[in-house]
């Protein structure tokens, strides 16, 4: 049984791991087996947005492009929030057009992301990557149809003793994914910790997440 890594910036090419490698329109490797592509709010270049969207749209039609993203909203950066919102919505339109799930970067803007989903009546799955917040925010997101992905901050909870362990335990098994993002630990290490927190085995967790992968990404 394979591990699924919902979000990583490093392709490791392991036989027992399916990796959704994050790609950017201007830095693209067509040889990757599975990837997502999107305009990250940190890297919005206003006069290049339409060109980037054209690249994204072309890649969304390729079979190894499994999702759009990471894209989203971030209130702690200098990029104007109004511009972030416009670029986010344009990518959501493409996600709907090509029926692709969305991997979301969200910092201090969860209410805006939820309202955007409602306003645009988005029907494709939306996954908040790198979730690190409390049970209240988790519940709001779950109640509005989002999936949550855990990785770096879950690993940090081992030493920091954060509330995230309790949050993670409360997430239904059919609504979460695991990831490595930019950490040095492997996806199997994330699964081992998650299985421990869920009082489960790694194999049981793999089976659960593989079901989620089939539901969301339409791959076996």
DSSP 27: B
Please tell me the distance from the alpha carbon of residue 132 to that of residue 18, in angstroms, as a whole number: 23
Q: What angle (nearest 5°) sits at the alpha carbon of residue 216, between those of residues 69 and 136?
A: 75
User: Strand locations in 77-217, DSSP E?
Assistant: 102-107, 126-128, 147-150, 176-178
Beta-bridge partner residues of 95? none
- The annotated binding site is made up of 70, 105, 129, 181
Cβ–Cβ < 8 Å for 101, 126: yes
DSSP 24: B
- The annotated binding site for a divalent metal cation is made up of 70, 105, 129, 181
Q: Which of 150, 149, 152 is nearest to 125 (CA)?
A: 149
Please tell me the distance from the alpha carbon of residue 165 to that of residue 158, in angstroms, as a whole number: 8
Which pairs from 46-52 meet CB under 8 Å and 24+ separation?
46/83, 49/87, 49/90, 51/25, 52/25, 52/26
């Amino acid at each position: 049984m394979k591990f699924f890594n919902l979000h990583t910036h490093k392709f490791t090419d392991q036989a027992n791991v399916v990796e959704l490698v994050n790609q950017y329109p201007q830095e693209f490797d067509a040889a990757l087996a599975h990837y997502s592509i999107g305009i990250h709010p940190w890297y919005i270049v206003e006069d290049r947005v339409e060109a980037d969207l054209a690249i994204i749209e072309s890649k969304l039609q390729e079979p190894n492009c499994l999702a759009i993203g990471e894209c989203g909203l971030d209130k702690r950066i200098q990029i104007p929030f109004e511009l972030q919102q416009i670029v986010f919505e344009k990518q959501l339109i493409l996600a709907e057009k090509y029926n692709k799930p969305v991997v979301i970067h969200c910092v201090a803007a969860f209410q805006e992301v939820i309202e955007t989903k409602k306003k645009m009546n988005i029907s494709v799955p939306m996954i908040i990557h790198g979730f690190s917040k409390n049970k209240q925010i988790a519940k709001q997101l779950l109640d509005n149809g989002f999936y949550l992905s855990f990785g770096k901050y879950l690993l940090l909870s081992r030493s920091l003793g954060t509330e995230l362990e309790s949050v993670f335990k409360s997430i239904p098994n059919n609504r979460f994914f695991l990831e490595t993002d930019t950490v040095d630990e492997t996806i199997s290490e994330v699964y081992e910790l998650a299985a421990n927190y869920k009082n489960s085995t790694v194999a049981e967790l793999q089976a659960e997440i593989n079901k989620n992968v089939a539901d969301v990404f339409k791959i076996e």
